[in-house]
Amino acid sequence: MSYKKKSTRMVKSGRKREKWTDILPRYLTFISHMRPILRETRRKIIELDADLLLDIEILDKIRQEEEKRNIRKVRALSEFYTMYRSNVYDIIKDFILKYRETIPIIDIKDYIIEFLYESIGALNVLRHITNPDESSLEKTFLYVLTKFIEERLFSRGRNIMIIYNKLLKYSSDLYECQRHILQPHTYYREKLERSDFFEIPGMSPKVYQLINNITSLYNLDPNFGEFPERGNQELPMILKTEVFNPYIDSIANAEEEAINQIAERIGLRVIDEIFIAPKEDLVDIMLENNFIRENKQSDEKIRLLPKLSNETLILYYLALASQRRGFLSKELINWISMNFAFLIYMGILKWKLSDQNIFYPIFKDLQTNEKVLPYLMKLVCFPNYLGLDKLKIRDSPQYRKEIFNFIGSQIDNLKEFINEIADYCEKFDKERKNN
Amino acid sequence: MAEIQNPTWKELLQQFNKGLEKAIDELEKRDAENIPGAKEALVQRLNNMKLHFPKNNGDIFIKSINDKIQNAFFPNTKIFSEAFDKILKSRSHEQDFIINELLNGFVTSKAKAIASGTQGPIINRMVEAFSKRNDFNIIDHQFYAMFGDPNKPRHYIKNQLEELVKMFGLVSKELVVKKDVRRSEEKVYTFYTFPDDIIEILEEKYLIIDEELGYAYVSDAFDRNVFICMFLANVSINRDDIKKIGGSYTINGISAIFALILLLSFMPKLSVDETNPILNDPNFNEDNMSVIPKSWMMRQVLDPLFEPLIKIIAYRLGGGLWLTKIIDSEINKKIMNQIRFLLKDVNKWILGELVRVEIPIFVEIANIFTEIVVGYDES
C-alpha cells in the first residue's frame, strides 16, 4: 500500500506551478549576460586610442579575442552571447563607417561610450527591476510600473463601480489603449459561448462592432420597459433582432447564440428573450457618470433616458474583466500580460536610452524580446502585481513567435503611453534616490 | 458632355432626389434629437441637398467622389504605385481609422471576403518581418522560422506567405547557396521585397535608406496600415476585375462605407447650449469636433438616402459594371444597416450626442458643398 499523497489539484501534465524563485532567475539569465558584454566593450573602447577606431579591422580583432573568452557551457546561452556581441560590434563599426568623414573620431568615440553607458544603465534597471525576495516591493520598478499601468488600463477596486470610475478617469487620454488590451490578436481562437459562464474571453472585432451597434441603438430610438428591480422606473431596451439584423450570411450566428454571455460582459441582460436592457449595476454606473438621465413622467414613473458614449459599454467590459481577473480566458491573459510586459520594458528603455542611441535596435530586436518578455509576462502575473493565472501563459515556441505578431500590432496611443511611463520612471527614480 | 447625355447618371440623380424627399417625410414623422433645433437643421440641410445636388449634372457628387474620396482612399488609376502613394498620403491618425475600417468592412460583409478574420493578424507579421532586417527584405526561411508552428506542417506557413506575397504584390529574388552550413547541401533562399517604385514612395517617411552602409531600415512610422494601404491600392487598381477583388460583397461594402463618408460630410453642425454636459466631457474637443444631428441615422431616414447613394458611389467608382453588382434586395438593406454603425472613431457618440471628428476628408467634401451653395446664393 502506498502512502504517497495524491494531489487534489488538477494540473495539466508537464505544467508545474512555477514559483517566483523559478521565474525570476530565468528572466535574469539573458539580461545578466547582456550587461557584461556591453561593459567589456565599453572598457575596450575607452582604452583604445581614438585614431585606432578608424581601422575597422582592429575592432574585428578585439571581438575575436573576446569570443575566445566565451566560457558558457549552455549552448543557447553561448549562441546568444555570440549573437549579442557580434551585433554590438557591428553596430559600432557601422556607426564609425558612417560618420568618420563628418565627425571627428574623438567625438565618435565619446558618442559610442555614451551610448554604451546608457545601454548599461537600461540593463541595470532591467536587472534590478525587482527584489528576489520581494521585499520593499513599493520601491521596485516592476511593482510601481505594473501598478502605474494597472491603475490606468486595468484598475482594481472593491466593486465594479469604483473600477469603472477609475478607468473612465483615464479614458480621455488612454481609451485606445484600454480598448486595445481587451482585443487579443488571437481572438479567432476564443470561444464566445462557454460552459463556464464566469470565464471572460477577449473582445473580437465582431463583438466590438456589436457593442457599437448596441450603443447606437440605445442612443437613437430605444424602447422603454419596466425596471424589474425598481418598480417606479422604466429601463431603456432595444430589440435583440435589431442588433443582429445587419448581418448577412449568418456571419454573426455564433454571437447571436452567445448573446446572453456577451450582454452580461457589457452590463446588459436579455429580458423575455426579446429585449436587451441594462442591469442594475450598469444603471447605477451610468447614472453616476451622466450616461443616463432620469426623466419624470406625468404618471410619476421615472424614465431612464440613455446618453451613451463610445466607451460606456467597452469600459464596463474592461472593468468586469479586471474584477474577475481570476477567470479570464487563456488568450486574454496572455494578451494582457504581454501588453504589460511590453509597456514596462519599452518604458524603461525610453527613459534610459536617448532616441539616437545606436544600440536601441538590439533592445528592440525580436531575439532579445523573446528572451525577456515571456518571463516578464509571468512575473507581472504574480499576486502582488496583476494577480492573473500565470499557468495560462503559454510556454510553447509557437507562442513565443506570437510575440512577433503582437509587436507588429502596436498602436499610436501605446507609443504615447510608453512616453508617459518613461516620464514616470524618471520621477520615481528621483523620489527613490531622495528618500 | 458625355455625362450630360448619360441616362444612367441622370436616373441615379433622380433616385437620390426621391430618396431625399422620402427621408424628409420620415423625418417629419419622427424625432430622435434632444438638442433644440437639431431636427430643423437636418430638414433644412436635406432640402438644400435636394435643391443643389442635381445642379450642373450632379457636380457636387462628381467633385466629392472623383476628386476627394477616390483620391484619398481609392485612386482611379491602373498604376499600383500611384494608387498606393495617394492612399498613403491621406493617412493621419484619424483617417487611419477609415483605412482600417475599409479593411474591416470587407470582413464584416462576408466571412470569406479578401481580408478574412485571420489575415488581419498576419499583416502584423509582415510589419515585424520587414522590421527585423536591415535590407528591407523578407526571406522565406526566416519567415517560416519566425512564424511557423512546429506542430503543423510547413505548408501552412508557406501558403500564408504566398498569399501575402500575392496580396501585396511583392517581388522576389532567389539566392542559391551551394553548400549550406548545417547540411552542406544546396539551398535556395527566396528574398521578397517591394517593387522599386513602392520603395521610392516609402522612402519619404517609412523607410530610411543608408546609402553609405547599404542598409534600409524601417522607421517607427512603418506600421500595419502601410500594408492596409497597399491592400486598398491593389483593390482600387483591379476594380474592373471583380473576381480579383473579392466579388460583389467587396463592391457593396466599399460603396457603402464611402456613402457613409459622403453623408457624414454633408451633415450640418449644431450649436449646443453652453450648459450642455458634452462641452465638459473630456472626450469632446471643440477645436476638431462638431455635434451633428443624429436623426439621419434612424433606419427610416437612412434607408431612402443610402440606397441611391450607394449606387451613385458604385457608378462613379466602377461604372456600369459596379452598378450592376449592387445587390438590390434585403441584403443591401442589411449592408446599409451595418454601415451606419461603422467609423465610430470619427462618427462617435459622446453622452448620447453624435459627434463628427473634423478630419480632412469630411472638411474637404463639406467645403465643396458650401462653395456651390454660396456661389448659387451670390448669383
Contact B151 A398 (CB under 8 A): yes
The answer on B184 and B168 residing in a single domain is yes
The answer on B252 and B156 residing in a single domain is no
pLDDT digits over A210-229, tens only?
999 999 999 998 999 999 99
B92 lies in a domain?
A: no
The answer on A106 and A25 residing in a single domain is yes
The answer on A312 and A202 residing in a single domain is yes
The answer on A281 and A346 residing in a single domain is no
Q: Which residue among A308, A323, A338 closes a domain?
A: A323
Sheet (strand B347-350) strand order: B289-292, B353-357, B347-350
Helices (H), chain B: 2-5, 7-29, 38-52, 55-61, 70-73, 80-89, 95-109, 119-132, 140-147, 154-168, 196-202, 224-237, 248-266, 299-324, 330-339, 360-378
For an interface test with B, give the residue of A168, A210, A220 to mutate (most B CBs within 10 A). Answer: A220
The answer on B195 and B148 residing in a single domain is yes
Q: Judged by CB atoms within 8 Å, which residues 238-257 of B form the interface with A? A: 249
From chain B, the residues in CB contact with A185 under 8 A are 120-121, 124
Contact B111 A251 (CB under 8 A): yes
- Name the band, by pLDDT with cuts 50, 70 and 90, for residue B336: confident
Q: Which residue among A306, A323, A340 closes a domain?
A: A323
User: Of A182, A174, A157, whose CA–CA distance to A313 is shortest?
Assistant: A182
Give me the pLDDT at residue B111, please: 42
Q: Which residue among B197, B231, B265 closes a domain?
A: B231
The answer on B53 and B35 residing in a single domain is yes
What average pLDDT does this structure show over A74-102? 84
What average pLDDT does this structure show over A175-189? 89
- Phi and psi at A271, nearest 5°, equal -110, 130
Q: Which residue among A300, A323, A346 closes a domain?
A: A323
Of B32, B34, B147, the CB nearest to A221: B32
The answer on B325 and B277 residing in a single domain is yes
* Residue B68 DSSP one-character state: I
Instruction: Say if CB A333 and CB A411 are below 8 A apart.
Output: no
Q: Judged by CB atoms within 8 Å, which residues 156-195 of B form the interface with A? A: none
From chain B, the residues in CB contact with A306 under 8 A are 352
The answer on A105 and A213 residing in a single domain is no
Number of structural domains, chain A?
A: 2
B210 contacts chain A (CB < 8 A)? yes
The answer on A351 and A261 residing in a single domain is no
What average pLDDT does this structure show over A52-76? 75
pLDDT digits over A98-144, tens only?
888 888 989 999 999 999 999 999 999 999 999 888 888 899 999 99
Q: What is the CATH number of the domain that holds B137?
A: 1.10.10
Give me the pLDDT at residue B1, please: 44
A158 lies in a domain?
A: no
The answer on A290 and A219 residing in a single domain is yes
A159 lies in a domain?
A: no
Any idea which of A99-108, A144-153, B67-76, B109-118 has the lowest mean pLDDT?
Answer: B109-118
From chain A, the residues in CB contact with B212 under 8 A are 97-98
The answer on B162 and B269 residing in a single domain is no
A185 lies in a domain?
A: no
Q: Which residue among B173, B203, B231 closes a domain?
A: B231
A3 lies in a domain?
A: no
Q: Which residue among B200, B231, B262 closes a domain?
A: B231
A165 lies in a domain?
A: no
For residues A94 and B187, give the distance between their C-alpha atoms in angstroms, rounded to a whole number.
29
Can you read off the three cell numbers belonging to residue A203? 473582445
Q: Judged by CB atoms within 8 Å, which residues 263-322 of A form the interface with B? A: 290-291, 305-311
The answer on B175 and B119 residing in a single domain is yes
Q: Judged by CB atoms within 8 Å, which residues 233-252 of A form the interface with B? A: 245-249, 251
The answer on A313 and A221 residing in a single domain is yes
Most confident stretch, A12-21, A358-367, B299-308 = B299-308
B104 lies in a domain?
A: no
B16 lies in a domain?
A: yes
A277 lies in a domain?
A: yes
A167 lies in a domain?
A: no
Give me the pLDDT at residue A16, please: 61
What average pLDDT does this structure show over B10-36? 92
Instruction: Say if CB B316 and CB B61 are below 8 A apart.
Output: yes
Q: Judged by CB atoms within 8 Å, which residues 200-219 of A form the interface with B? A: 205-206, 209, 212-213, 215-216, 219
Task: For residue A433, give how far its alpha carbon lies from the nearest alpha carbon of chain B (Å).
Answer: 33
Can you read off the three cell numbers belonging to residue A175? 481609451
B57 contacts chain A (CB < 8 A)? no
Helices (H), B224-270: 224-237, 248-266
Over chain B, what is the mean pLDDT? 85
B79: number of Cβ within 10 Å: 12
Could you tell me how many CB contacts below 8 A there are between chain A and chain B? 142
From chain B, the residues in CB contact with A350 under 8 A are none
B248 lies in a domain?
A: yes
Most confident stretch, A59-68, A141-150, B250-259 = A141-150
Give me the pLDDT at residue B109, please: 47
pTM of the model: 0.90
The answer on A26 and A137 residing in a single domain is yes
The answer on B321 and B353 residing in a single domain is yes
The answer on A265 and A225 residing in a single domain is yes
B24 lies in a domain?
A: yes
Domain span at residue B278 reads: 2-74+239-378
Give me the pLDDT at residue B107, please: 43
A249: number of Cβ within 10 Å: 13
- Phi and psi at B64, nearest 5°, equal -65, -45
Tell me the helices (H) and strands (E) count for chain A, helix number first. 17, 6
A14 lies in a domain?
A: no
B106 lies in a domain?
A: no
B158 lies in a domain?
A: yes
* Nearest residue in B to A90, CA atom: B213
- Name the band, by pLDDT with cuts 50, 70 and 90, for residue A61: confident
The answer on A251 and A357 residing in a single domain is no
B20 lies in a domain?
A: yes
Number of structural domains, chain B?
A: 2
Q: Judged by CB atoms within 8 Å, which residues 68-127 of B form the interface with A? A: 93, 104, 107-111, 117-118, 120-127
- Name the band, by pLDDT with cuts 50, 70 and 90, for residue A148: very high
Domain span at residue A312 reads: 191-323
